[in-house]
Structure 1
């Protein structure tokens, strides 16, 4: 199916994980302001998932979009994780210290000392995630997402992180989504992952409209650029490029912080600094180049960037609006810093 016939995707999309309290909490007003700023900046693709803050991101996103014309934006969410009552956290007490924390510093509900759950979200412990890629699980997930969102429909439904669940994802989750697409319940379907290999399998063996590729089509990692994107273009599958800052290393003018949610290895930090130096010679900042790079490939329909505040949205929008000279890409390729 040609996604361009059914959906109009803005070049940049809003990623909802940060307003689900990823790493640090944000309040309702800040989350609302971030969504409002994105809409006002012309962003019309909004992506979320039950996983993000145990449903918090969906609730906040739905509330912020409720006053907008429903046909004016595209809403994407995901299936594969159901939210169920935690029953007190479900962890045993073996190895816990006098404060009730285990060897990793987590309490009986799985929260670390900063209040984050074991997926990095600062949210209460009343719910837990259960992987479910069954047909019934997919339908239940979408029904519960609609309830949290408070909206009348979901446009794009993605199978979320089925890394260890290929068989059930392809034999149950995908057919369930395809049926809902045929019925007009959702307009486009696909999968979203942090790896490209299984996404390529989905593209070869099923009929997705779109895939979301996180972190594997960036200035620092072009494995998906080579391995997945040509296949998507051949099959008419549109790519949503996410994780383009690789969780932080490319997000600042001077590279620092994390790479794929872990401390950045020295070799990657050095490479990021070398890329930043070339960018500087062309009057371009590292995050500006990181936002522009994914859209150079014709298979990429949109770059999805998370934000937790209106200020972050405004900063990213300003960077995305600045032109990047073609000579920058020529020099980065010539110096072996990007491979395509």
Structure 2
């Protein structure tokens, strides 16, 4: 597989095509640590200079901060030179008591309360708010964000699903048919959701955060296979599994946006051993692995420093020998029939 970050793949049956490598901006919302303005700008500058032309953000990232930062940067560029996606399903509002407001789980971010709304009106308002924060008059695609029972409990989740199916999808269909957006998708955090709600509505793509990475291929024969069968494209939103595949195993590593459990640490140490034997970086393996799946059109790793962007770009274009992937399968570290890159 010979890729550059500008290689493009078509999204479903739409007219939209995306570069295989994009920029995920959750870290600019100050997820694990504060990111000062010069570092944020330097990171975005480094991405642009490296040739990155696809950017993903969300109202949730830093409670609006990421959209402000990404949009503030991109508005200085020619609109036809880049593509941007953001999320819907949350609107932001001033908290009742700003002085006492808890911004968690964001270390920093902005002082805005989140309101979930997957109805027609909620999605339209979320879209309009996002455009204002981005200071852009268009986005290329919208993504239904965090429609997952782990966020609200089963009863509230069911209500949100009903609202989306009853009226929310109509909003997305209208925006697409009018040409406001070229495509719409759904963000997925759990393998179960990829097999259920993501298959119950017509989507152009799914943005899969955790269920398909170098660590976990539990969705390979169900949700990912369903997407392939329906020609629903997949964007991999967390190729580093929220941290550990970038940092490596260790006491401070993150997995699933929390401290990495012992069994995950052990599995990553096994992958690291195979990496060492073949002189392959863990980061390169993590970024290239999901791109081998025929449903995947793009990966969007995050970065909070210019050096991280530069390293990610180099990693995705590094040659990895076929024997590396064979050894991972032999050791039982990835699923035996998982698609893997072919470099020779």
TM-score of the superposed pair, with normalisation by structure 2 = 0.87
Aligned counterpart in structure 2 of residue 176 of structure 1, from 164, 171, 175: 171
Aligned counterpart in structure 2 of residue 252 of structure 1, from 247, 255, 261: 247
SS in 2 for 1:270: helix
Task: Give the corresponding residue for 1:303.
Answer: 299
Question: Is residue 62 of structure 2 the alignment partner of residue 69 of structure 1?
Answer: no
SS in 1 for 2:42: helix
Question: Is residue 32 of structure 2 the alignment partner of residue 23 of structure 1?
Answer: yes
Aligned counterpart in structure 2 of residue 290 of structure 1, from 280, 286, 290: 286
Q: Distance in 1 between matches of 2:17 and 2:74?
A: 17
Can you give the 5+ residue segments of structure 1 that lack an aligned partner in the other structure?
90-106, 111-116
Question: Is residue 123 of structure 2 the alignment partner of residue 138 of structure 1?
Answer: yes
Task: Give the corresponding residue for 1:235.
Answer: 230
List per-residue Cα deviations over 1:190-222 (Å, max 9, x = no partner): 101211332333453322111100011111111
Aligned counterpart in structure 2 of residue 279 of structure 1, from 272, 275, 286: 275
SS in 2 for 1:19: helix
Distance 1:35 1:226, change over 3 A: farther
Task: Give the corresponding residue for 1:44.
Answer: 53
Aligned counterpart in structure 2 of residue 11 of structure 1, from 2, 11, 20: 20
Q: Distance in 1 between matches of 2:115 and 2:204?
A: 26
Aligned counterpart in structure 1 of residue 193 of structure 2, from 192, 198, 201: 198
Task: Give the corresponding residue for 1:104.
Answer: none
Q: Distance in 2 between matches of 1:81 and 1:121?
A: 19
SS in 1 for 2:162: helix
Work out whether residues 142 and 183 of structure 2, in 8 Å CA contact, stay in contact via their aligned partners in 1. Answer: yes
Work out whether residues 3 and 209 of structure 1, in 8 Å CA contact, stay in contact via their aligned partners in 2. Answer: yes
Task: Give the corresponding residue for 2:152.
Answer: none
Task: Give the corresponding residue for 2:341.
Answer: none
Q: Distance in 2 between matches of 1:247 and 1:59?
A: 22
Work out whether residues 20 and 56 of structure 1, in 8 Å CA contact, stay in contact via their aligned partners in 2. Answer: yes
Distance 1:129 1:301, change over 3 A: same
Q: Detail structure 1 runs of 4+ shifted over 4 Å in the superposition.
A: 253-256
Shift of 1:227: 2.0
Task: Give the corresponding residue for 2:321.
Answer: 325
Q: Distance in 2 between matches of 1:47 and 1:230?
A: 24
Work out whether residues 79 and 142 of structure 1, in 8 Å CA contact, stay in contact via their aligned partners in 2. Answer: yes
In terms of mean alpha carbon deviation, does 269-278 or 216-225 score higher?
216-225
Aligned counterpart in structure 2 of residue 35 of structure 1, from 40, 44, 55: 44
Q: Distance in 2 between matches of 1:69 and 1:329?
A: 40
Q: Distance in 1 between matches of 2:320 and 2:311?
A: 16
Can you give the 5+ residue segments of structure 2 that lack an aligned partner in the other structure?
1-9, 149-156, 339-344
Q: Distance in 2 between matches of 1:2 and 1:251?
A: 27
Q: Distance in 2 between matches of 1:124 and 1:204?
A: 34
In terms of mean alpha carbon deviation, does 210-219 or 222-231 score higher?
222-231
Q: Distance in 2 between matches of 1:64 and 1:12?
A: 18
Work out whether residues 25 and 303 of structure 2, in 8 Å CA contact, stay in contact via their aligned partners in 1. Answer: yes
Shift of 1:121: 3.8
Task: Give the corresponding residue for 2:342.
Answer: none
Q: Distance in 1 between matches of 2:259 and 2:241?
A: 11
